[in-house]
Amino acid sequence: MIAGISIYEILTLTSILFFIGIYGFFTRENLITVLMSVELILNASAVNFVLINTYLYPDLLQGAVFSIFIVALAAAETALAIAIIINLYKLIYSVEVKDTETMKY
């Protein structure tokens, strides 16, 4: 718990971070930058798990464990997505969202 800071202030911060990620997800047209926006969204939710654990259930650990799982999933997802992007670049020499039609087949 942070002295002098209420849960509302931190939840406001993580909500802003989450919706900045959503904005990036909507506007970016390059696969790598879309993936970066997804990282922002995942991070905001991981912070939320820790916060609610700390502020509302101080004697439990579940939130921290869920955040660790989110970090592991994010690492797995990024590694796989970057492998796919690099393979896609080898196939069609572009990583723009509008050019990725061959993934259908």
Partner 1 sequence: MERIIFYILAAVIILFAVASVTSRKILRAVIYLLFVLIGIAGLYFLIDYNFLAAIQLTVYGGGIIVLFIFAVLLIHHVELELEKTALKKKLIAGLLSAAGLAVTLWAISTYPFPETGSAYTSVEVADIGKILLSYEDGGFILPFEVISVLLVAVMIGAIVIAKGKKLTENN
Q: Does 99 interact with partner 1 (rule: CB under 8 A)?
A: no
Which residues neighbour 29 within 8 Å (Cβ) at sequence distance 6 or greater? 96, 97, 98
Shortest distance (Å) from residue 97 CB to partner 1: 11
Cβ(3)–Cβ(38) under 8 Å? no
- Residues in 67-96 at the binding interface with partner 1, rule: CB under 8 A: 67-69, 71-76, 78-80, 82-87, 89-91, 95-96
Picking from 99, 100, 92, 18, the residue whose alpha carbon sits closest to that of residue 10 is 18
Q: Does 100 interact with partner 1 (rule: CB under 8 A)?
A: no
Shortest distance (Å) from residue 101 CB to partner 1: 12
Shortest distance (Å) from residue 41 CB to partner 1: 11
Task: Write the Ramachandran bin of 77: left for phi over 0, alpha for psi from -120 to 50, otherwise beta.
Answer: alpha
Spell out, one character per residue from 32 to 71, where the chain touches partner 1: x when CB under 8 A holds, - when not.
xx-xxx-xx--x---x--xx--xxxxxx-xx-xx-xxx-x
Q: Does 97 interact with partner 1 (rule: CB under 8 A)?
A: no
Tokens of 54: 């700390």
Residue in the structure block whose two tokens are 């989110």: 70
